[in-house]
Structure 1
């Protein structure tokens, strides 16, 4: 009996590793797609924001969820819509981004508090959190790497470094890439073994 218990614990560890690798591979693939097709990604995220807003309106009309939860959700979608104006550029120091993050934390707190007091089935709670709270922020998180390949323009708001050469300034900033895709690329290069191609 003890051996089977240890074996089940080992299988859970192996399953957790496989799930983690599958999620990482999926995120890497999604980040690649967003970088390649930024216009389509913006369109998909915009329609997701509209659909989530309509779901919140539907919850106000047809369900007995508290009004403040749905109002927080609608405010969150409005903030996401404002952030999408400059897509794929996401300025993490902007007031809109900071307000959206704070509103998301407050929305999570209120949702956890409400669903902790009132009984709903697990599938209903998971549906609310997945569709009303996590879909759009997750899509925006994956699309953060699309900003890495935006072409430079002379109308940038940040001052140019050194001389007024747009290309030199752009390439000097490119050396400091901190995004989801660059993290996965670094992990792929450092963890996975590299194959050497033989030249004949």
Structure 2
């Protein structure tokens, strides 16, 4: 077969593009929703952080999760909680924000290493090839733990926090200064923009710039 594998590759590429667009649209919508309901979003995020801290402590006490990794997870969520003091605005050079980004990666690596070693030990202790390892979490349980206890709060912060004073550069960075000089929407242009929205806008502007360089005569207002 020659054509069917090509069709499979093409379908995978198209599906990946649609999935990327769906994620970007969801991030954009959630960021706008948080901007409209800042007080409610702050309250929900704070309660979410406390709930996950309690869940990690329960896992440590009841399910015998490693104490040191649990303490690291609790400490990480306390650092995440520190980003709520000026919610929804954040400076990308703020030590708490930088520490939060580092702790996300550290937690992911250490917990992934922990679950990998647990599975390796379980398979090595098998006396027969036909035995099934016991007392090891399933893929669904591991994925759920990562989703809820490792990535949920950082992802929610990424969607909710706004970069103050336009600290995230855009493709047309002259726009805000011109608007401010004309006295029209200067305050709106200088207002903090959600991190997720800024990321989507930057990617969208980059695609528009590449399209113009490639000779696609698309009106620029389609990307605004």
TM interval, shorter chain, is 0.7 to 0.9
Report the equivalent of 2:74. 74
2:89 match: secondary structure: coil
Report the equivalent of 2:147. 130
Give the aligned length.
177
Specify whether residues 172 and 48 from structure 1 end up closer, same or farther in structure 2 by C-alpha distance, changes over 3 A only. closer
Segment of structure 1 superposing worse, 176-185 or 45-54: 176-185
Specify whether residues 29 and 176 from structure 1 end up closer, same or farther in structure 2 by C-alpha distance, changes over 3 A only. closer
Report the equivalent of 2:28. 28
Shift of 1:176: 9.3
CA RMSD of aligned residues (A): 3.1
**Within 2, Cα distance between the matches of 1:49 and 1:77?**
6
Segment of structure 1 superposing worse, 178-187 or 109-118: 178-187
**Within 2, Cα distance between the matches of 1:82 and 1:135?**
16
Shift of 1:171: 4.5
Shift of 1:173: 8.2
**Within 2, Cα distance between the matches of 1:25 and 1:95?**
30
**Within 1, Cα distance between the matches of 2:192 and 2:47?**
32
**Within 1, Cα distance between the matches of 2:39 and 2:10?**
44
Deviations 1:19-74 (A, max 9, x none): 11100000000011111111111011111101111110111112132112211110
Report the equivalent of 1:158. none
**Within 2, Cα distance between the matches of 1:135 and 1:83?**
15
Shift of 1:147: 4.7
Provide TM-score, normalisation by structure 2.
Answer: 0.68
Q: Mind listing any 5+ residue stretches in structure 2 that lack a counterpart?
A: 120-136, 167-182, 212-217
Q: Mind listing any 5+ residue stretches in structure 1 that lack a counterpart?
A: 150-166
Report the equivalent of 1:105. 105
Which has the higher relative contact order, 1 or 2, with Cα contacts under 8 A spaced 6 or more apart? 1
Specify whether residues 4 and 20 from structure 1 end up closer, same or farther in structure 2 by C-alpha distance, changes over 3 A only. same
Report the equivalent of 1:174. 190
Deviations 1:118-171 (A, max 9, x none): 12321111111100011110011111237569xxxxxxxxxxxxxxxxx9xx84
Segment of structure 1 superposing worse, 8-17 or 87-96: 87-96
**Within 2, Cα distance between the matches of 1:41 and 1:147?**
18
Query: Post-superposition, which runs of at least 4 consecutive aligned residues in structure 1 deviate over 4 A?
Result: 146-149, 170-173, 175-178, 186-196
